[in-house]
Structure 1
Amino acid sequence: MSPEQWQQTKYLFNILIELTQDERAARLASESDAEISAAVEKLLAADAADNFEETPVANLAYLWREDEEDKEIENFIGRRIGNYTVIREIGRGGMGIVFEANRSGGDFSKSVALKLLKRGMDSGAMLRRFRSERQILASLEHSNIARLLDGGMSDDGLPFFALELIEGEPLDKYCRTENLSIP
């Protein structure tokens, strides 16, 4: 999907989200680009899922092209987001990129894991999903779960949250090494 198609997809989604089901179907039927129609239908389905986990965001990951993502990541290294300076990429998923960042300013400094919503995934549905994830993390208190430390918006409007940084092997890699399943 080209950047222009993605912009059209977001535009169409934001229009259709306000319409009834019948009006949506009629408007989508008039869309000449099948790729845009399919992407909008997936976004509408994700938006219709009330539960945070009903529609895995990984199902929508194809909307983000990896070459664009790599350029985006390069633009964040060394950049200041809130009180944090981005050091390096730690990982990425369907809707966000996680960086190691250093909190600087004030009376102390601290390394954190900074999760930032990907550019292009900032539709209404994805913003709600991101906020929901942040709220879920805020409510969790367990010694084996990284604590939510902070949250906010970048200067260019992307939401982020900062988590306790835990060094170690990623869980998915550990499970593969040990031949464990991930439920």
Structure 2
Amino acid sequence: MTAASEKTIFFQALEIASFEERTKFVQQACKDDAQLHAAVSALLRENDREENLIDRPVAAAILPTMLSTETGELTDPRFSPGAMVGPYQLMERIGEGGFGWVFVAQQQSPVQRRAALKIIKPGMESREVIARFEAERQAIALMDHPNIARVFDAGVTESAQPYFVMELVRGVPLTDFCNSNRQSIQERLQLFVTICHAVQHAHQKGI
């Protein structure tokens, strides 16, 4: 089987909650291909780990040449404001996780709009990290709810770094919003119910 089949089996297996049913599905999907079975099983083990590389902050010593001498933050001239990632021009970096950066990006074509672009940090493109990134992208794309940001696009840079583009949602902390609008207890509970509906939708999609 091809690498594409490996990804397909991995994503399908993620949607199965029961460990026994998932194991049975992988065995049937991989048939007699021991190498494919081992590869898919390794991705699933990595995905299920409580502690994972992408959940931990990246030590500055890992990528010393990418550290800004002024701020001490990880940076890369290929992903500085004004740089292009596919048809998207990066505007500003607004978020950073253990393995990815999030930018405000201006889409140039076929339509012009601002969006949020998430990309794997340079140097973090291991097999396991890419698999987790792909799983996250796939999971978000499956959701369709007015209170969950939508995925617009996805691609890979010339340097083989996956990225995906989603709806840009600007906001403030929930408690700040409630306090500044002087919301009553009833209004806060109603807002909480709205949030719960979005969380329920995500749970129904296996998140």
Q: Normalization by structure 1: what TM-score? A: 0.60
Residue 131 of structure 2 corresponds to 128
Aligned match of 2:119 in 104, 108, 116?
A: 116
Unaligned runs of 5+ in 2: 1-41, 180-207
Q: Which amino acid aligns with 2:51?
A: T
The number of residue pairs the alignment matches comes to 130
Q: Which amino acid aligns with 1:61?
A: V
Residue 49 of structure 1 corresponds to 46
> How far 1:167 sits from its partner (Å)?
1.1
Residue 87 of structure 1 corresponds to 91
Give the root-mean-square deviation of aligned CA atoms: 3.2
In 1, Cα distance between equivalents of 2:43 and 2:90: 30
Query: Greater Rg, structure 1 or structure 2?
Result: 2
In 1, Cα distance between equivalents of 2:57 and 2:44: 12
In 2, Cα distance between equivalents of 1:167 and 1:60: 24
In 2, Cα distance between equivalents of 1:85 and 1:145: 24
Residue 67 of structure 2 corresponds to 67
Percentage of matched positions with identical amino acids: 32
Does structure 2 retain, via aligned residues, the 8 Å contact 1:149–1:164? Answer: yes
> How far 1:64 sits from its partner (Å)?
5.6
Residue deviations 1:128-155, cap 9 Å, x none? Answer: 0100100001111111111011000112
In 1, Cα distance between equivalents of 2:55 and 2:131: 16
CA distance 1:70–1:59, shift in 2 (3 Å): closer
Does structure 2 retain, via aligned residues, the 8 Å contact 1:73–1:89? Answer: no
Q: Normalization by structure 2: what TM-score? A: 0.54
1:1-183 to 2 correspondences below 5 Å: 48-51=45-48, 54-56=50-52, 57-59=54-56, 61-62=58-59, 63=62, 67=67, 70-72=74-76, 75-106=79-110, 108-169=111-172
The ranges of structure 1 where at least 4 consecutive aligned residues each deviate by more than 4 angstroms after the TM superposition are: 63-66
